[in-house]
Chain A
């Protein structure tokens, strides 16, 4: 599975847009990019997944450049409840479902 690198932490304020960039230089052709959100003492929650270009859902947007060596999760107008750890993962389901989590990005939203 491709290794990912993301910032350890980020601070933001309520109402702002938060962008978290993840590097995955050795992403494979079949790999998808998936982001999870985790609150303390809870299981990670699937946020968004993409393969290329831009993906958007009701929670976030995911931007993936043409070379796919990085991706950016965009959280619009964050609130205090968006304070969490965000994980970026890359991989595919060809060999089964084995997720390798990195350290994640701890996002703190301040009032």
Chain B
């Protein structure tokens, strides 16, 4: 079974631009979550989508947004990029059995803002 895939793997943008990252979950997984990882803040939760609806949201500004399509693929968008948005952006898809959840992470997209 194919794992979680993320595209692109690396991206360089300049301040003020916007960026769209893509995530394809494991087949059959309906939940997709996004995380930001930086050396200073560690791994932080951005938001989660389930059946095309945002189910959970972290403490990030409105410049960070996302969506999920009917095939469970998800995109996240960051508008008006700032230097501090440079990070590894991780996507995870989930399998849930009752209250036990296993999340499977993709390789991430390394975003550099200059």
Chain A residues within 8 Å of chain B by Cβ, number: 26
Please name all residues of chain A whose beta carbon is closer than 8 Å to the beta carbon of B98 when the two chains form the complex: 93
**Nearest chain A CB to B62 CB, angstrom units:** 18
Is B55 part of the contact surface with A, judged by Cβ < 8 Å? yes
Which one of A18-26, A45-53, A65-73 is at the interface? Answer: A45-53
Which label, helix, strand, loop or mixed, suits the secondary structure of the A interface?
loop
Bound-state CA distance A37–B68 (Å) is 27
| A41, A51, A87, A93: the one within 8 Å of B101 (CB) | A93
Chain B residues within 8 Å of chain A by Cβ, number: 31
CB–CB B99/A94 < 8 A: yes
Known: A49-B100, A97-B96. 17 other contacts (CB 8 A): A32-B100, A34-B102, A41-B110, A43-B91, A43-B92, A43-B107, A44-B43, A45-B105, A91-B101, A93-B99, A95-B56, A96-B56, A97-B31, A97-B50, A99-B35, A99-B43, A101-B35
Is B33 part of the contact surface with A, judged by Cβ < 8 Å? yes
Please name all residues of chain B whose beta carbon is closer than 8 Å to the beta carbon of A81 when the two chains form the complex: none
Knowing A49-B102, A92-B99, A98-B33, the reply to whether A43 touches B90 (Cβ < 8 A) is yes
Q: List 24 A-B contacts (CB under 8 A).
A: A30-B99, A32-B99, A32-B101, A34-B101, A43-B4, A43-B92, A43-B106, A44-B90, A92-B101, A93-B94, A93-B100, A97-B33, A97-B48, A97-B55, A97-B56, A97-B103, A98-B33, A98-B45, A98-B56, A98-B58, A99-B103, A100-B45, A101-B35, A101-B43
